[in-house]
Amino acid sequence: MALNNLTVNLVTSWESRRKQNRKTTMLREASVVLICLVLLLGVLTGVEGFVPSTIQRKTPSFGLPTRLADSSGDFPGFEGVDLEQVLGTLKFKKLKRKLKRKKNQAIRDAEAEAIKDANRAAHDARTRANLESKIEKLKKKALKLIISGAPASGKGTQCAIIKEKFGVVHLSTGDMLRAAVAAETEVGKTAKSYMDGGKLVPDEVIIGVVKDRLAEEDCASNGWLLDGFPRTQEQAKALEEAGIYADCFIMLNVPDDDLIERVVGRRSDPVTGEIYHMTFKPPPEDEEIRGRLEQRSDDTEEKARVRLEQFHTNVDAVKGSYTKICVEIDGTLTPDDVSEKVAKAITSKVKK
């Protein structure tokens, strides 16, 4: 009886230890599998430092020599971890090949993008050189140009650039009227009588002033640029009837809200004549200069909207008179970008 009890106790104890060992083994294996999954997830997602350093340092070696699988830096965040041992040689090599393909593809993409950038730069350089060559050739031709746009659309800036690039004579109706009055020409005297009486100078008188000015030697030799004229369809027809034709009609387009912002922020220096804008072209940080700046009486939002309404009333009819030679340009771009587009427009419309 005692022997039987001893036998039962031994068997029970052995079974208990076997079950305990089995649980320990299963927990160990589960821990290893979990570590492998964490490491693999970190590699596949490419998240640097995904695995805590404590796990990296304590990865079991399974009784095999520990090798530094990432001495080359192929697997950021897994320095000191023997990934080949953890993942198995086959999976590890497959992973390295995949990573190598990605790296090679990234290198090829970067090289391709660099080639594209170089080609674009070379193309832009050739385009600019070609444009400059065309401009030089057109300087020998007496160009006949008209530029139009709402108040504050940038006509003044572009007129100065066009004058410098193409060598044309820049003309505005106000300057021409004042010059005709000062020279006491016949049309100048007629214009003066209206101006002195506070009346608008009629179109026929303005056309006479323009026609006389365009016939002068500098305009005949160098060409001309009419700034903001004609303003109405009647003036456009009168120019045509007078035998005055343009090579290119440039239209600067700027949204009304942008125009209002440009107008109300505009200031002028009565001493130097310099024009500033409180937002886009601020004056120098000089109290004397800032103190003497002036704002035109009509540079208010209310008056600017009235001028815009008048401009919009006639602009479509004026453009309709120059359909074949009209080029519309986005005036919201930088002055340099607008200038480049204007130059391209002129070279494309002017007959060689």
Which residues form the catalytic set?
155, 231, 266, 296, 307
Residue with tokens 């660099």: 114
Structure tokens at 279: 């937002």
The C-alpha atoms of residue 321 and residue 235 are separated, in whole angstroms, by 10
The C-alpha atoms of residue 352 and residue 349 are separated, in whole angstroms, by 9
The C-alpha atoms of residue 250 and residue 162 are separated, in whole angstroms, by 11
- Is the CB of residue 212 less than 8 Å from the CB of residue 158? no
Structure tokens at 243: 């035998």
Query: ∠94-96-97 over CA atoms, to 5°?
Result: 65
